[in-house]
Structure 1
Amino acid sequence: MTSYLPNLARDNISFYLIPAAWTIALLPRAFAAKAYSDSGKSYNKFQPRDFTNDVHSDQRLDKKTCGRIVRAEAAQANSFENLPLFAAAVVAGNAAGLDVATLNYCALAYVTSRFAYNHIYIFQDLVPVPLRTAAWFAGVCSCFALFIQAGWKYNSRTIL
């Protein structure tokens, strides 16, 4: 029977995880827009950068929902700020010829940590804040692990 799941020790999925990370970066905005519309408000698609200001200035929005929407926007911004680091780390690891398992597990660790980070950030009224820092740090460490191992691989090559 053929399995459609990749073998992480054999099949390189690291490049596929870059669009997955981008999608995960968009999820907080989808949550924020849905939460805002669920509260009877209308999300302004024509001026999306004013969304946080609109939320802050809306006195009819309850404090808990307002906080979650604002934190969702911050989580999205942080995700997009970290995405280039991840993409560069994946490219560096592949260019250096790191083994597939290392590439896959580091990339999966990053994607998982970003999903956790977003969730913890948005719902930090339910989850201890230090977990957000731990999730962020885990993602950055997985990127640095790829960069460091790529550097080691390049430095171990002999020049003829």
Structure 2
Amino acid sequence: MRVFAGLVAALCLLLPAAPALAAPAPVASKTGEAPLYQARKNWDRYAPGKRAYAKGSLLATNLVKDSIPPYATVKVTGKAYDLTKGGTCGYAVFRITYLKADGSSPFKHRTVRDCTYKSAKSFTFTDKRVALVELKVCSEAKHSKPSLNCLYAQAWKVLYSTL
């Protein structure tokens, strides 16, 4: 029980520092149903040492508030840049926590890799039933996926949270 209370206290300390999305605004539904809600946020992030960069926007729609945790459909669009000359690549790694039908909340990673100096790689993806989207930008040797150092060495930036 103490561990759970400690986690809740730590989460409460972290969440106010997270950047807030614009207040959800009602959007007229095309089918005449109840209004949908949406929130948009622009974001950008450098890797340590400014060796890679990612920027873009996030659009959250169809917010379901009466679920625990609440969730939405999230569309992320952006560009990733490698800012080094040589054998390294820039990685934009997104950690997406979503709600499964059984009530569990696992996460998955979506990775965008750019290995061309100052030439952007565009990306877009959409996920449903999302509770939390976090971002980390890294610069490291070319691999099919980011290293454990990239995934765990620095803090994640919260882009969207329903928690």
Q: TM-score range by the shorter chain?
A: under 0.3
Task: Report which of the two has the higher share of helix.
Answer: 1
Q: What is the TM-score when the length of structure 2 is the normalising length?
A: 0.24
Task: Report which of the two has the higher share of strand.
Answer: 2
**Radius of gyration: which is bigger?**
1
Q: What is the TM-score when the length of structure 1 is the normalising length?
A: 0.24
